[in-house]
Each structure stands twice: as structure tokens, then as C-alpha cells.
Chain A
Amino acid sequence: MEAGERRWLERGLREAVLAGDEQAWKALYEASFDRLYAYVHYRTRGDRQQAEEIVQDCWLIAVRRIRRFDPDRGAFIQWLIGIADNVLRNHGRKWWRRRWTEIAGIEAQGRIPSPSASIEQTESVAMTLLSLPPAYQAVLRAKYEERLPVVEIATRWHTTPKAVESMLSRARQAFRTAYRQATG
């Protein structure tokens, strides 16, 4: 999605949410839920319980402060991630300090846990993938996560191998462009 298109779409949804439109809120929510969840999941090192707690807090803050979201300053997901960082920091003060002190005797001092290099790469790949259109996500996950051959993907999707190849080529290209941008 082009930046301009993203801006007017998110601005429209924001205005509709402010007017009380629940469908508009659902559209914003569904479009960003997976990416926010994956981001928080990696930041909490895969602690499901803590990730869920933080994700819920983020969404509740987002719905209360939606008026402050400005699509001209960035995408909705970036705004959500900014909220998530603050929530992680606050949780970190309570939770990480206790946990790290208990487990390794480390004083966390309210820092967001910094992921190691491999975790960072995993996170970048996941976040890049989740930023792609759903059809690209699906074909890439089938090929590179489930490791299915093209013929099997075609059978499963009731289409031709040629169509899957074409989709896969475009999805790979989109992923590489987005990944380069994300990792600098």
C-alpha cells in the first residue's frame, strides 16, 4: 500500500472511530493485530502470558487515545508499537526486575529487554512478513515456513502450479524490498 493511500485510509478510519463506528475500529484492529502481537511476543521473549497482558493494555490505551493518532506522522502500526514500547517499559519495571532478579540475579532497572542478534533477525523477518498483503504472507508461509513444494501449494489452493509460481515470485520480491528497508 502506498504511503498516500495508507494515510487517507487510516485518517478515514480514525474519523469514523471518533464518530463511534465500531466497524471502523474492527478494521483498524484486524489490520494491525498480528503485527503488534508478534512484536510484543519477541520483546517478551516468547512469554505468552506476559505478551497477552501487554497486547491487551496496548489496545486499551489505543482505543482511549485514538484522537492523538495522526496518520500524517506515521502508520497506525508504528503508533501502536510506540505505545507497546511504553507499556513494555512500564511492565519491565515491575515484571522484568522481579523475574531477572529471581532467575539470574540481574537488576533490570526498567529496561526493555534487548533481543540477541538471532532473535532480532527472527523478529525482523516476522515483522516484515506481517507487513505484506495477506496473499503474499500466505504463499511465503506455505513455502518457507511449512516447506511445501509449489505443486502441493497449488493442490491445496485449487489452482495451477504456474499461478503459485507467479504469486511466489512477486511475494519474494515484495519481501526482499521490505526486508531491506526494515534492516537498513
Chain B
Amino acid sequence: MAENRFDEDEPLAPGLPGIPAIPTASPVFRRAVLEKTTETMRGIRRRWRLMMAAGLCAAYAAGFATMALWPGSPEMESPAPGGPAPIADGRSVFEAAEAEEPDMLLSGVIGAPREEQIRLLKETGNTYLSREGDIASALYYYRQALELIPTSRTVTFDPHDTWLWISLNESRMKEGNHEDTRS
């Protein structure tokens, strides 16, 4: 049996006595590219989360709109005991919203006292939300109304307030608390 002897000077491969200097990148460049790609990865992840959240909101809004437009919807025909409560003049928020056109409501905003402006903008938001399921427009007018309410004022909710109005107020309060904690 032939002994497998080690030859130190054996070429690496036929016709290949040595290997060339392997090009290597500088460690600074290597690290910089890693940091850049990691940052890009984080950005992609953030956008992905936002898209998921937007998708969920859209699905929720679509469901809400479909429910509101459904002609035989039991919620629309016979409100549950805990359903929309009557407002000042005895009508439900949906009825009140149905009754007034957004343009009519908005025409009264200019020149009106602040409290009236808030009420009209809020009513406009209600109308868009309840009649057309138009969350974007409702959001727009609700935010305008909220801008007129001083942040120091404690907001109380009426039983007929919409989910969007309540949700916006709550997040505004949380944001205010957060700001206070930070300062």
C-alpha cells in the first residue's frame, strides 16, 4: 500500500503554483453598507406595518359602510336599547345627520361663535360618517372641530357620539398626557 506522503511544496492545482492576492473591502466600507442595508430593512418593515394597519382600517371602514347602507339592516330599522340616543331635540344622531346637508351645516360655521363652530363641524363629521360611511371626510371635519377645542379642556362624551369622534378625542387626550409626562 503506497503511503500518502505530505508534500509541502505541492502546487495548489495543476498550473497553479500560488493564489493571487484576494481583493478585500475596507472594514469601514463593509460596516457602512451593513448599517445602510439594516436601516433600509427597518424602513421596509415600518412601511409594511403601516400598510397592514391601513388595510385593517380600510376593511373595517368597508364593513361599517356596507352595514350602514344595507337596506334591511336590523341596526338601522330597530335600534337596540343601547343604540343611538336621542340628541337635544329628540332625534337620534343618525336622524339628525340625515336631516341636514353637510354644505348647509358648514355655511353656518363662518362668523359663528366658537362653540357653535365646534358643534357644526362635529355635525358635519357625523353626517359624512353616518350617511355615506365616508371616514376620510368625517375625520377631516372632526379634526377641524378638535382644533377649536383647547387641549386643557376635559372632553366629556355624549351617548350619541360616534365611535370615530370618541376615538379621536381619546387619542388626543393620550397624546396630551404623553406630552405632559415628557415635559
Contact = CB atoms under 8 A, between A and B. Distances in A.
Given A22-B38, A25-B41, A179 B13 contact: yes
Q: Range of interface residues on chain A? A: 35 or more
B19 A144 contact: yes
Given A56-B36, A60-B36, A64-B44, A150 B8 contact: yes
A25 B34 CA distance: 9
Contacts of B37: 25, 29, 59-60, 62-63
Nearest to B44: A64
A140 B19 contact: yes
Interface in A138-184: 140-141, 144-145, 147, 149-150, 165, 168-169, 172, 175-176, 179
Interface in A27-67: 29, 33-34, 37-38, 41-42, 46, 51-52, 55-56, 59-60, 62-64
Given A129-B19, A140-B12, A17 B24 contact: no
A130 B22 contact: yes
Majority DSSP secondary structure for residues of A touching B? helix
A150 B40 CA distance: 45
Given A60-B40, A63-B41, A125-B16, A55 B23 contact: no
B38 A172 contact: no
Nearest to B15: A121
Nearest to B46: A20
A169 B19 CA distance: 16
B34 A176 contact: no
B117 to A, nearest CB: 45
Contacts of A144: 12, 17-19
A126 interface: yes
Interface in B76-114: none
B25 interface: yes
A37 B20 contact: no
A78 interface: no
A20 B22 contact: no
B21 A145 contact: yes
A129 B8 CA distance: 19
Across the A-B interface, the 10 shortest Cβ-Cβ residue pairs: A41-B23, A63-B37, A144-B19, A20-B45, A144-B18, A122-B20, A37-B25, A165-B6, A59-B37, A63-B40
Interface of A: 17, 20, 22, 25-26, 29, 33-34, 37-38, 41-42, 46, 51-52, 55-56, 59-60, 62-64, 122, 125-126, 129-130, 140-141, 144-145, 147, 149-150, 165, 168-169, 172, 175-176, 179
Interface of B: 6, 8, 10, 12-13, 16-25, 29-30, 33-34, 36-38, 40-42, 44-45
26 contacts: A17-B41, A20-B45, A26-B38, A29-B34, A29-B37, A33-B30, A37-B24, A37-B25, A38-B22, A38-B23, A38-B24, A51-B23, A52-B25, A62-B37, A63-B40, A63-B44, A125-B16, A126-B19, A126-B23, A129-B22, A141-B19, A144-B17, A144-B18, A145-B21, A172-B12, A179-B16
